[in-house]
Structure 1
């Protein structure tokens, strides 16, 4: 067979290796899927299918959800059967296994019979007084509800008594006052006091401030140095009108001679020039 001109052996080897890897991955996925499906119990799924079919056989009608569930269970059962056939002898078994040694079959996981032979202990190690104690062969029966209710009620009463004792211990006074009952003081009743004190008003002042003309207000502001300066004549006019208080007369200053004498400062001499007559 003639070789192709564009044949690349390296590329062909890569394609073959890639196809081999893909095939191996698919086989592993299928094996894991079969192993997962084989762990499911087909008998349980068959029972569910039979229960749904019994409804239709009895003349009933399945709902839409039940029909979808039935189809899913049938499809799942086929996949489980196919997976178990693919595994063959490796498929796990369900149900009871062969009887164990001693003629006892442990059908329930985690249960241990009291009369089973225990290899780790022997009867010779157990004292006689312990052997004579009867042991229950199974779990004891449940305690009746009436007895449990009585027990719980007594338990609650004891707890309440302890709580009351703690409260009384906190309320008991310390020192010399111990033993005397403290009478609770009644809360003070709130009292409402209504008071009507006379309101003293200076109507003259209110009249002056309320009915002062705008021009006069501007002049009063001028006396305070706001908005300009006011002439003395305007101030006198406001005093006569009663808007300003009368200015106090300045105190008379003492004479210069008395002031100079009284003061302990140095004396000053003044010289006057006198014109001489030519006669």
Structure 2
């Protein structure tokens, strides 16, 4: 199934829905039996209760009234996740590409351990909403990424069982302000500007995808120019290894969002660099998961 978070153009209330087809959605808040999903509950609650809700949702697809996607505003599938985590330097071609600010040497050393950082909640953005270019920098960049969403509370997950705790997958763009990112060894500020964590357009459940996310083509265009093209099979640390490590340090919870790394072709690697400018349109697409697309605008 494909789940979405959306706002109706009339009420403005945030609802969780399931796509009935490519053009319409069923609101779970409106259609589920009374008591299964309260008005204030969102996607993490749906994920946590999915074993109980799924049979009802399956029935709704053939019975409940649909709302046209054109009549709603799609939000990030998990608008306020418990945690938003991202891994850096997780494709070898990205590790090896020359990046502006690396003092002229080719590539970078392969990290000895997985390199993790956080993107803060205010960076989350809808799949088709504008990306705001901050007035304090001219080095805003794009990074096409597969996004994984955790499905159950877990700790110390063995790698061979990590697939059991993933609820589903999205398309993401780890927007990065390169000069702020490189000011310190901690990347949080450079990765957390407002609107710089778009993902979506929907949350495709793991069973819908087929269970294994490690054979998906990933592409990114800027103004129609193909900038990034790779396959998730080329991750250095696959999704299972990422979950195994993270769950050693922290309890993972339903709705936690994980950005799983980007490939080569980022704007900072071109000579001269191709950083984002107002009016640019960035499209990220992953096989079987859909595409997100955003226009870049200057900060007011």
TM-score (norm 2): 0.13
Of the two, which has the highest radius of gyration? Answer: 1
- Give the number of the structure whose residues are more often helix, by fraction: 1
| Bigger proportion of residues as strand | 2
Bigger relative CO (Cα 8 Å, ≥ 6 apart): 2
